[in-house]
């Protein structure tokens, strides 16, 4: 079963538009963590945000904001006033306990965001 679903494979928007990237997750744990990463064309993976399962406060960081809703198992990411530099692949990830104290970090399939100048 897919643990992290990013249903939007590719999104294109014109510069300065707002865009929301969806992330839906599945877990049986009561304690878990969610993440967003950015992968620009250069290929490295850049950490954006971490959220634990007990903190449902939305977070804003500059043009970026995140909406965490446990009731719908969603952790959506919004970019306001998009810029060309936001063009990248964005990954949502779920961290949860596994066997024998191990921790699994599972990623979604990613959303490729293209900002058109």
Partner 1 sequence: DAGITQSPRYKITETGRQVTLMCHQTWSHSYMFWYRQDLGHGLRLIYYSAAADITDKGEVPDGYVVSRSKTENFPLTLESATRSQTSVYFCASRGSLNTEAFFGQGTRLTVV
Q: Which residues form the interface with partner 1 (CB under 8 A)?
A: 6, 9, 31, 33, 35, 43-45, 47, 50, 52, 91, 93, 95, 97-110
Our CB check for partner 1 shows the closer of 16 and 70 to be 70
* Nearest-approach distance from CB 80 to partner 1, in angstroms: 23
Give the distance, in angstroms, between the CA of residue 89 and the centroid of all CA atoms in the same chain.
Answer: 10
The residue (of 44 and 117) whose beta carbon lies closer to partner 1 is 44
Structure tokens belonging to residue 52: 């634990």
Rounded to whole angstroms, the Cα distance separating 35 from 47 reads 8
- Calculate the CA 8 to chain-centre distance: 12
Shorter beta-carbon distance to partner 1: residue 93 or 115: 93
> How many CB atoms are located within 10 Å of the residue 26 CB?
13
């Amino acid at each position: 079963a897919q643990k992290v679903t990013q249903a939007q494979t590719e999104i294109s928007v014109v510069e300065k538009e707002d865009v929301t990237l969806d992330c839906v997750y599945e877990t049986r744990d009561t304690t878990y963590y969610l993440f967003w990463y950015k992968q620009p064309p250069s290929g490295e993976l850049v950490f954006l945000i971490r959220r634990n399962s007990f903190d449902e406060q939305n977070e804003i960081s500059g043009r970026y904001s995140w909406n965490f809703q446990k009731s719908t198992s969603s952790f959506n990411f919004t970019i306001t006033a998009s810029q060309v530099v936001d063009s990248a692949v964005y990954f949502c990830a779920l961290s949860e306990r596994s066997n024998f104290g191990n921790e699994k970090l599972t990623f979604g399939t990613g959303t490729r965001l293209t900002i058109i100048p």
